[in-house]
Amino acid sequence: MKFDSQLIDACRAQFPALLREQNDQSVIYFDGPAGTQVPQCVADAMSHYLLHCNANHGGHFTTSVESDELLHKCHQAHAEFVGATDGDEVAFGQNMTSLTFSFSRALSKTWKSGDEIIVTSLDHDANISPWVLAAEEAGAKVHFVGFNPHDYTLDMEDLGNKLNERTRLVAVGCASNATGGINPVKRVAEMAHQVDAKVYLDAVHYGPHGLIDVADWDCDFLACSDYKFFGPHLGMLWGRRELLEELQPFKVRPADNRLPTRWMTGTQSHESIAAGMACVDYIAEIGKKTGAAQNANRRDALISAFSAIVEYEQTLSQKLIEGLSEIEEIEIYGITDLARLDERFPTFSIRHRNIPPAELASRLSQNGIYVWNGNYYALEFSERMGFEPEGMVRIGLVHYNTSKEIDRLIEVIKQLSVGST
């Protein structure tokens, strides 16, 4: 079933932030890739936790027991969100960056001098620097996989040539937070496993747009952050049980050494974890309105939801590409071929020939359109494109954005372009 206007309105109605106005116009949130807005149910879940079952972990009193039961469900919900079945394989943390830094420290203890790791020049720095620093300590060599400059996709031939029997890890993003391009991570995992390398996926940018499926992708580890898919500021790490049990985390001695807590340092933000489950359920509810049965399990509902979201977001991508293509001064850094919309999400990095990125973002903001400028931590990409320090402007759409909002964006950019030299 499709994402029709009724459903879009129903979804939008759940996000109080979308009611915000500026100069008598609705604010347009095209800043999703840095963190989406949240539906009321997420805020309610957080509030409910704090007000009704706020307690630390492992106590014998009622609120602690209730809290632990709720947290257990949250692990399970997030496992289902990423396509796993075992909630103990999910560890929570502050955000993907913090989790990856912590995990890289543990994983790199298994590396030795002469080993090699592979990162990519399309990734957010959170999936680069932790591994580069860990490799430095271990004496391992780091290879960067490049991208095809003609369509900004991952250079798979380059990856193939850099993989060898010394490769211990391939760290790659599921989708680029700069170009919107979707990486063929299933193929990456297949290639990496042929040389017995581990695969660590960054699904932060993928999360709000597509169905994560660790089972199908056959990766070893995957990290993402709930605040990118309509949730609270929370990060999660999934790993194969046998690997999470085998590896040695850096932890305090009294902390439980069983999964999942051995990978969760200190007391977590329980209210955020509770709200994280609410955002997963928010998406699952979309699934029940787009084809999944009312009694469908959460995973099936998520499958249906993302199927509809992907289809709808492709219409947004098409409209935005067509609109931006009408503006001679704009260059898009990502796939623009309308026949290849299934290879990208609606995240667009652009530059205006005559208006610097910061100024363009600022002028759009004055018109009530919120976009990001800079490198958004896709530093390697921005550097290789020669865009530093100004970077680019990022227009990031999610399912609560509309075709009309794109019309307004295009109109404003056209107005700003007139007379710009």
Partner 1 sequence: MSNIDYHRTTQAQRRAIESWDRGQLKTYQVKRLNQVLEAILPGNRFYQSKLQANNSPITSMDELHQLPFTHKEELLDPENEAGFAANLTFPLDQYCRFHRTSGTRGRPLIVLDTANDWDWWMETWQYVLDSAALASSDRVVMAFSFGPFIGFWSAFDAAVERGAMIAPTGSLSTIARIELIRSIEATIIFCTPSYALHMAEVAQQNEIDLTSSSVKKIIVAGEPGGSIPSIRQRMESSWDAKVIDHSGASEVGPWGYANAEGTGIYVNEAEFAAEFISLATGKPATEGELSELVLTCLGRIGSPVIRYRTGDLVRPQWDSSGNCNFVLLQGGVLGRTDDMMIIRGVNVFPTSVEKILRGFPEIVEYRLTTFKQESMDQLKIEIEDQLESPERVRAELQIQLGLRVEVECVPAGTLPRFEAKGKRFIDQR
Residues near partner 1 (CB under 8 A) are: 121, 143-147, 149-150, 155, 157-158, 161-162, 331, 333, 351, 383-387, 421
The answer for 112, left when phi > 0, alpha when psi is -120 to 50, beta otherwise, is: beta
Closer to partner 1 by CB, 252 or 339: give it.
339
* Residue 94 DSSP symbol: S
Closer to partner 1 by CB, 238 or 381: give it.
381
Of 287, 280, 304, give the one whose Cα is nearest residue 227.
280
Residue type at 354?
N
CB count within 10 Å of CB 367 equals: 19
Q: How far is the CB of 157 from partner 1 (least distance, A)?
A: 5
Q: How far is the CB of 143 from partner 1 (least distance, A)?
A: 7
Q: How far is the CB of 145 from partner 1 (least distance, A)?
A: 8
Closer to partner 1 by CB, 60 or 150: give it.
150
Of 207, 206, 304, give the one whose Cα is nearest residue 3.
304
Task: State the virtual CA torsion across 362, 366, 369, 375 in degrees, nearest 10.
Answer: 10
Q: How far is the CB of 65 from partner 1 (least distance, A)?
A: 55
Closer to partner 1 by CB, 113 or 421: give it.
421
* Residue 229 DSSP symbol: T
Q: How far is the CB of 133 from partner 1 (least distance, A)?
A: 19
Kindly report the CA angle at 304 between 301 and 306, in degrees rounded to 5?
Answer: 110
Closer to partner 1 by CB, 101 or 144: give it.
144
- Report how far apart the first and last C-alpha atoms of the chain are (Å, whole number): 46
**Pairwise CA distance, residues 335 & 345, whole Å:** 10
Q: How far is the CB of 37 from partner 1 (least distance, A)?
A: 31
**Pairwise CA distance, residues 397 & 273, whole Å:** 25
Query: Tokens representing 156?
Result: 């798979």
Closer to partner 1 by CB, 146 or 291: give it.
146
Q: How far is the CB of 83 from partner 1 (least distance, A)?
A: 32
Which long-range contacts link 296-302 to residues 24+ away (Cβ below 8 Å)? 297/80, 298/77, 298/80, 299/80, 299/83, 302/80, 302/81, 302/211
Alpha carbons within 13 A on the beta-carbon side of 54: 11
Closer to partner 1 by CB, 344 or 399: give it.
344
Q: Is the peptide bond before 249 cis (omega within 30 degrees of 0)?
A: no
Q: How far is the CB of 318 from partner 1 (least distance, A)?
A: 21
Q: How far is the CB of 121 from partner 1 (least distance, A)?
A: 8
Q: How far is the CB of 331 from partner 1 (least distance, A)?
A: 6
Most distant CA pair in the chain: distance in Å? 70
* Residue 352 DSSP symbol: E
Closer to partner 1 by CB, 125 or 331: give it.
331
Closer to partner 1 by CB, 48 or 187: give it.
187
Give the Å distances, CA to CA, from 271 to 21, 224, 298: 29, 18, 21
Closer to partner 1 by CB, 223 or 360: give it.
360
**Pairwise CA distance, residues 321 & 309, whole Å:** 18
Query: Tokens representing 253?
Result: 């001695």
Kindly report the CA angle at 193 between 187 and 199, in degrees rounded to 5?
Answer: 75
